[in-house]
Amino acid sequence: MVYVVGLLSLVFLILAILVLTRLTSVLKGVSGGVSDEQQVRPLGMSNRINGMLFLAFLIFGSIAAAWSFIHASDYFLPEASSPHGRRTDNLFWLVMAIITLAFFVTNALLFVFAFRYQYRKDHKATYYPENHKLELIWTVIPAVVMALLVFTGWRAWRDIMSEAPTDALVIEIVGKQFNWELRYPGVDNNKLGNYNYKLIDANNSLGIDLADEASFDDFTATEMHIPVGKPILLKIRAKDVLHSVFIPHMRVKMDAVPGMPTRFWFIPDKTTEQMRNETGNQSFRYEIACTEVCGQGHFSMKMNLVVEDEDSFRKWVSEQKPWLTNNPDYLARVPENLRAKAAKYVPADATSAPADSTSAPAEEAAGGASTASLR
């Protein structure tokens, strides 16, 4: 491929030199007072050569473009693993088809006209100072096509960004330099507890607010597991700079913005195992990546995503321990009236000593700042 590009560059360089040489001779003729007929006569052969080159460029350029597309298709993503992803792909290819058709039609006319209407002796060009019918055609048709595309895209975007179903599994995903953090609602309910950035410390990196009893059974994970065929609602936020949640095979992409929670919901309908069978790659994994350059460690912001059947997902959830279970010292931060409910998530032999005193108790933080609800 490099040799082809180099060869084409050399050809275009030679052609440019020839054109400049011819232009210099024409300008000399003009400055020397040569007649119009004498100026045009030597250009006849050049026009024919240029016309042939235009046709050759059209043919070989079209072949090269087709080859490039076919060659690159091996690197395209496979069919989307979500309904909204397939709808998005269909719109993308529809737009690409229309643009490609318009490109080839207009450029074919451009190159063919350059050959067809080259200089001929005694041939006079016809000029159209104005042609309302022609102008109407080339204005109305693109406008109608564009309006239809915009309307179709708007409908798809409206449906994709609509409110998630009430039975959606809610997962919080938080971006920070340079990794993702996850929080799941516990097995007792499908409600995430509140968070408060003032509660963030070395152990409570997500700012889980234990003044909300829905937080007691929440658990964190280093790998995202989701059940196939069930709506998934991602609640997205960032702790430091801009990040962007990207799940390419699901066609999921949404920015994680500090101080401005975002969300995206989708339905995965192909398990990891199905994708391994479809792609023939037994090492296939869904991946969550960051598509916003967020610093020197941006490349490391990756996380595995496992799509599995409902039973396997429930089994995985049952193996997870609530965050409070892994951090029993934080029981002291639970408000007195809720401590009995929280105690069942703390091992009986766990110490009840207060957590690090560098962080304010949950009651004080909740009273001194508004707490963002993740319900």
Residue 264 main-chain phi, psi, to 5 deg: -160, 135
Spatial separation of the C-alpha atoms in residues 91 and 251, rounded to whole Å? 13
| C-alpha dist (Å) from residue 338 to 134, 323, 327, 348 | 76, 16, 17, 17
Determine the pLDDT at residue 29.
56
Q: What is the DSSP string of 120-142?
A: -TT------S--HHHHHHHHHHH
Residue 335, Cα to own-chain centre: how many angstroms? 43
* 169-368 maps to CATH 2.60.40.420: yes
Predicted confidence at residue 5, as pLDDT, reads 62
CA distance 359 to 210: 13
Could you write out the DSSP letters of every residue in 270-311?
S-HHHHHHHHT-TT--EEEEE-S--STTGGG-EEEEEEE-HH
On whether the CB atoms of residues 184 and 171 are closer than 8 A, the answer is yes
pLDDT, position 11: 75
Which pLDDT score, from 0 to 100, does residue 270 have?
Answer: 95
Q: Which residues of 259-282 are buried (b: 16+ CB within 10 A; e: fewer)?
A: eebeebbbbbbbbbbebeeeeeee
pLDDT at 133: 86
Measure the CA–CA gap between 84 and 252, rounded to whole angstroms.
Answer: 9
Q: Are 192 and 172 in contact (CB under 8 A)?
A: yes
Residues facing 253 on adjacent strands: 246
- Alpha-helix residue ranges (DSSP H) falling in 161-283: 272-279
The pTM of this model reads 0.76
Residue 69: asked if its preceding bond is cis (omega within 30°), the reply is no
Rounded to an integer, what distance in angstroms lies between the CA atom of residue 222 and that of residue 202? 17
The residues facing 169 across adjacent strands are 232
Q: Where are the domains of the chain?
A: 169-368
CB 306 within 8 A of CB 271: no
pLDDT by 10-residue block (mean), the chain, 375 residues:
66 74 63 52 68 88 92 90 95 94 90 82 78 86 93 94 93 94 86 91 92 92 95 95 95 94 95 93 94 92 95 93 91 90 82 45 43 43
Residue 252 to residue 176: CA distance in whole angstroms: 19
**Res 7: pLDDT:** 72
- SS3 for 239? coil
Q: Is the dihedral of CA 54, 59, 62, 64 positive or negative?
A: negative
Instruction: Report the 10 Å Cβ neighbour count for 197.
Output: 15
